[in-house]
């Protein structure tokens, strides 16, 4: 090979390398980062997620553009998955294939989250789960393209289950939603009850969603258990609490709302929920930062945010920061940056994403105030305990996620 040809080839290779490097430093596929909010817009979980989740994501995008001045466009689209895994998977595949969606977020309902996580892994796209709860998401069915952001059934059991047993609720009977989330919540709470010296007298599975809880509540009443554990959420929890009062089951037996949201308390009222313990990843009135963000959310929705809404905002903002910092929306690169970067915002302080995709952060044990203790609208909680991140979530030493090397 002559010297001129060799020089030309070397120059060409260098130019190609520099061009590729420069392109990678600023490349965003299609010039747009597209976020898909897939949630329950009209069903049992629409109050705790739904339209509010879309608002929270839109707020995150607007704030990111205003503060970070990105050199790429951001678009947000949304759809109702109707709490059905097959519908969620079809929509996710359509979004990725035809709409060029980069990340799918919210995913309230465990069945929809697991279905979409599978599609996203196959298509090499990121999912950020804020609404679903089952620990399956970061255990047996974990993926390296998913982050479980806000809470899970282990954290709920570690907070509410333990608190109720310590308050004297030693015998339990569960009303459990008959799908992965409910069963996971019952199992995790059962483990805590037994560890704390309590006893489980039985359980009954109810369909999701359910309207009439009479037969299930009568079984719980007949068990003689001190505590009826509600391993459900949203409208199911609301209906069970209302009907327990109508049938005179409470206050003779104590109800433990194992997954309750501020939207549930608002719907039921303080008279019906006073004294109940619950575990949450966020409370709007916790500090100046949470109040400031929540009041902005209220201006748009006329409701205070649930932890799902706050988690949606936090997760999307962190994702967008990772794209800007890494200069690409490539899934592998962005996920690595997200896991390498601590989360410090109004939702979480010193939060971090583990190898299993679990974002660990402090959780809060709350007790619902008595009506006379509430001083202003949405003043609903006493925060009784801050549960440190390393105690709130399943330790990696107990993880069954294939990504965790032991």
pLDDT (0 to 100) of residue 405: 86
Say yes or no: 181 and 212 in one domain: yes
Say yes or no: 88 and 205 in one domain: no
Mean per-residue pLDDT for 298-302? Answer: 98
Q: Is residue 305 part of a domain?
A: yes
Say yes or no: 172 and 244 in one domain: yes
Number of domains in the chain: 2
pLDDT (0 to 100) of residue 191: 97
Q: Which residue segment(s) compose the domain that 208 sits in?
A: 154-280
Which of 232, 249, 280 is the C-terminal boundary of a domain? Answer: 280
Say yes or no: 176 and 270 in one domain: yes
Q: Is residue 388 part of a domain?
A: no
Q: Which residue has the tokens 């988690």?
A: 311
- What percentage of the chain exceeds 90 in pLDDT? 92
Say yes or no: 224 and 332 in one domain: no
The pTM score is 0.91
Q: Is residue 349 part of a domain?
A: yes
Say yes or no: 163 and 90 in one domain: no
Alpha carbon 129 to its chain's center: 5
Say yes or no: 249 and 166 in one domain: yes
Torsion sign across C-alpha atoms 247, 252, 255, 261: positive
Give 271-297 as a DSSP string: HHHTT-EEEES--TTSSHHHHHHHHHH
Q: Is residue 24 part of a domain?
A: no
State the CATH number of the domain containing residue 159: 3.40.50.2300
Say yes or no: 202 and 247 in one domain: yes
Say yes or no: 262 and 326 in one domain: no
Give burial (CB, 10 Å; 0-12/13-18/19+) of 12: exposed
Q: Pairing between strand 363-368 and 381-387?
A: antiparallel
Within 10 angstroms of residue 10's Cβ, the number of other Cβ atoms is 10
Comparing 19 with 353, the larger pLDDT belongs to 353
Which of 280, 310, 327 is the C-terminal boundary of a domain? Answer: 280
Order of all β-strands in the sheet with 227-231: 199-206, 171-177, 227-231, 254-257
Mean per-residue pLDDT for 59-70? Answer: 97
Q: Is residue 263 part of a domain?
A: yes
Q: Are 46 and 61 in contact (CB under 8 A)?
A: no
pLDDT (0 to 100) of residue 74: 97
Q: Is residue 137 part of a domain?
A: yes
């Amino acid at each position: 090979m002559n010297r001129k040809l060799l020089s030309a080839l070397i120059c060409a290779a260098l130019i190609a390398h520099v061009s590729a490097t420069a392109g990678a430093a600023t490349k965003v596929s299609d010039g747009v980062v597209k976020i898909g909010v897939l949630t329950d817009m009209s069903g049992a979980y629409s109050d705790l997620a739904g339209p509010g989740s879309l608002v929270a994501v839109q707020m995150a995008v607007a704030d990111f553009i205003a503060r970070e001045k990105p050199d790429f466009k951001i678009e947000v689209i949304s759809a109702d998955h109707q709490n059905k895994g097959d519908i969620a998977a079809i929509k996710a595949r359509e979004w990725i294939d035809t709409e060029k969606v980069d990340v799918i977020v919210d995913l309230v309902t465990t069945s929809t989250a697991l279905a979409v996580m599978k599609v996203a892994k196959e298509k090499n796209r990121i999912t950020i789960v804020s609404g679903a709860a089952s620990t399956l998401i970061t255990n047996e069915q974990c993926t390296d393209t998913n982050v479980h952001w806000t809470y899970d059934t282990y954290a709920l059991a570690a907070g509410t289950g333990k608190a109720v047993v310590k308050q004297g609720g030693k015998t339990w009977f569960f009303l459990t939603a008959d799908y992965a989330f409910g069963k996971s919540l019952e199992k995790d709470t059962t483990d805590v009850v037994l560890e704390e010296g309590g006893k489980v007298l039985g359980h009954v599975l109810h369909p999701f969603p359910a309207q009439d809880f009479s037969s299930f509540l009568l079984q719980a009443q007949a068990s003689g258990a001190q505590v009826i554990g509600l391993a459900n959420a949203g409208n199911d929890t609301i209906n069970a609490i209302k009907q327990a009062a109508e049938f005179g089951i409470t206050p003779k037996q104590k109800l433990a709302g194992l997954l309750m949201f501020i939207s549930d308390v608002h719907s039921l009222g303080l008279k019906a929920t006073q004294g109940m313990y619950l575990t949450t990843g966020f409370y709007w009135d916790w500090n100046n930062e949470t109040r400031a963000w929540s009041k902005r959310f209220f201006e748009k929705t006329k409701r205070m945010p649930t932890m799902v809404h706050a988690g949606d905002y936090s997760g999307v903002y962190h994702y967008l920061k990772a794209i800007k910092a890494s200069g690409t929306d490539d899934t592998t690169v962005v996920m690595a940056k997200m896991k390498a970067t601590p989360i410090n915002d109004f939702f979480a302080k010193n939060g971090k994403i583990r190898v299993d995709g679990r974002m660990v952060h402090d959780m809060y044990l709350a007790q619902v105030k008595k009506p006379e203790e509430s001083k202003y609208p949405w003043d609903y909680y006493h925060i009784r305990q801050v549960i440190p991140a390393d105690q709130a979530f399943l330790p990696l030493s107990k993880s069954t996620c294939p990504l965790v090397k032991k």
